[in-house]
Chain A
């Protein structure tokens, strides 16, 4: 991924054709900042080159204070090991379980079966049946059990075999997980991690293809993150387990077999931070989870057509990283949100509202949001394909916005 970013930036610089681009670019960030290895855009927009070095430096420091910079990935340093996303999740989980004996896992088929997506494979043999608990099929009760255990000192990782099953646990997630820290006046903390695969898979049918991020996003007191690469999967898993807040970690059924090289040394990702996938100039594309890959595929086409999209994987679905997003909006002035969530009341809808509220003055065009259709995901392959956003639609939308 990191290699891609640098390659992308270099390509953008080389293929940028001022005649082809219709909308004038307002930003004139110095080249040094653009090809910076840091994935966070340091400092403000157009005035950066004019400000003194010390101011720019202090701006960078402020940025770093709030938002931890992504470490040099192994892709650039050359060491590290390659693995699949589910293995990265397993590695993160195992490391945290080794580190803190209070971390435990509960869910259906997590123990002897190794997890229905093999995320907990081998953990029951290593840590025992009580630390990796095979529960009966009672989502509401075992989620509540995890919450009660968290209140009394443990740090459970609760797995929903499919995110959709967590609808049965909604009572516990909403009333207890999110709210008990507040209603108890701060006396009890609920350091649970609720994780599971969601999203539209390969013809899994409507009920197994649900995206619950929109349903959970209003619950006060929880944080939601979505992982998309082996690197951030492991990092977010570790960060979520170490966090004192209840965190819902959304994984995607189709991303479990992604392969990437990740560092050997220990690292965690910041839970509240968005990830800059590809810096650009013309338009900001905000996305998360599987749609990141559709966007990157569209980005290839767009770059060939002369556009320079900035792609941000928002990662933190609740709360939004308004700093990274804001800096991007201030630079490009156009926003396209690409998500797999449903159109109505989805993450995109909230994000559109947040951007309009905070960065209205910086927008040259209305925020456009591409989401899945408001239909129960059909079984038929063709219909299912049309339910989610495809790269061609993204290209069309960008062209439309950049006119």
Chain B
């Protein structure tokens, strides 16, 4: 079923396919009655401009720009940047492969969702961010955390449920948080993180406009195609565009929500079109190509930093493994998997680097070896780390442990050393 759909509806990236798509329907002109004292800041001509995002917005035209750049022989990245991107993607891939091994060896349990195949999206976006920018993700968050800067040791320990994990073993695979690196999680329910990302972007705007601080932090929210049928997504698109928040909504459209094909669950499968409906540019990009993603990301991040508001970026990507390690992945067509495996983002970047003489095989091999060692060391560290003790059970339930209340003896429960140690230092 899914394959026959995909044959008739060409979604995937190339320019030739794009022109076969039905023409964009013009958004109805905005009514003159606004019903509020707030004035319309986007002039109507620019609004229509955004509605024709696929044709005229400079953001989508990036793919043409990329093509042109290639033609004129100027490269998109420098050698240093290329190696950084490569290393990050290799780290993501090796780490996830190691997770699978560890899971089947009984070192981690529960739901583990692996990111193999989607590395270009994470690397393409997150490597453009600074430490103070925020990232919000879903349950498929190991690689987002790694790209943002959380150490492989901390993530692996968290997966093993050890005290040295980034969340002290209390979060697990689906809740990777890091205050230091502004990784705002890791959420188990889909769509749950999008409002949190909107809030982080709101803080950025608040700091700038109310607290008068010099703040141009952006927030990037990652989520999947299944989330795009959820109300929270639309509510946040509305608020982000309304308040012009510095946020980028990145849809990692891997066509599958566990066993539900995107095309079977969505009335209009082209998610990027939903951006202009809310007054923000909607972009579709080939998510298997890290350089294309990076170009689009650059534009979106710059837009957000300049205070021009949110962007919706749909990355067409694919996960090589099942939804989670418990998913037998029998529903997806082998031909589809093979097609995307041929577009492996790591192989593509490697080819690009070698062909454009940015790096040689030897250098890339060194990186791979280095990452292998890093991941192995992370496993050793996690293995050697201690399990959480009993006293950790009641710590961190409340930031202010007086929230446990006053006991029958008149003292706060948290003052009783047998009850809890209070908020511990992480």
Contact = CB atoms under 8 A, between A and B. Distances in A.
Contact of A323 (B184, B200, B203, B409): B409
Contacts of A185: 165-171, 177, 396, 426
A129 to B, nearest CB: 8
B426 A223 contact: no
A151 B201 CA distance: 11
B402 A272 contact: yes
Contacts, number: 212
Among A143, A150, A185, A191, max chain B CB count under 10 A is at: A185
A184 B177 contact: yes
B397 A181 contact: yes
Nearest to B211: A101
B195 A148 contact: yes
B387 to A, nearest CB: 14
Nearest to A59: B410
Interface stretch (B3-11, B231-239, B254-262, B349-357): B231-239
Contacts of A138: 231, 235, 238-239
Most buried by B among A65, A102, A152: A152
Interface in B391-422: 395-400, 402-413, 415
Interface residues of A, number: 67
B405 A142 contact: no
A148 B200 contact: yes
Contacts of B201: 148
Interface in A49-90: 62-63, 65-67
A223 B238 contact: no
Interface stretch (A279-287, A313-321, A375-383): A313-321
Given A151-B199, A152-B134, A181-B399, A136 B242 contact: yes
A180 B239 contact: no
A182 interface: yes
A149 interface: yes
Interface in B84-115: none
Kindly name the residue among A63, A186, A273, A323 whose own CB sees the greatest number of chain B CB atoms within 10 A.
A186
A148 B184 contact: yes
Interface stretch (A170-178, A259-267, A340-348, A392-400): A170-178
A104 interface: yes
A326 interface: yes
A188 B169 CA distance: 15
Interface in B203-258: 203-207, 209-211, 231-232, 235-236, 238-239, 242-243
A184 B185 CA distance: 8
A16 interface: no
Contacts of A268: none
Nearest to A140: B232
10 contacts: A136-B239, A138-B235, A144-B232, A148-B136, A152-B200, A152-B204, A182-B170, A184-B175, A186-B424, A323-B407
Interface of B: 37, 134, 136, 165-172, 175, 177-179, 184-189, 192, 194-207, 209-211, 231-232, 235-236, 238-239, 242-243, 395-400, 402-413, 415, 423-424, 426
Given A65-B411, A182-B396, A326-B408, 17 more contacts: A62-B410, A63-B410, A102-B211, A104-B210, A142-B239, A148-B197, A153-B203, A154-B206, A175-B187, A183-B167, A185-B171, A185-B177, A185-B396, A186-B168, A186-B426, A318-B405, A322-B405
Give the top 8 A-B pairs by smallest Cβ distance, nearest first.
A148-B199, A144-B195, A319-B405, A141-B235, A185-B168, A184-B177, A185-B167, A148-B196
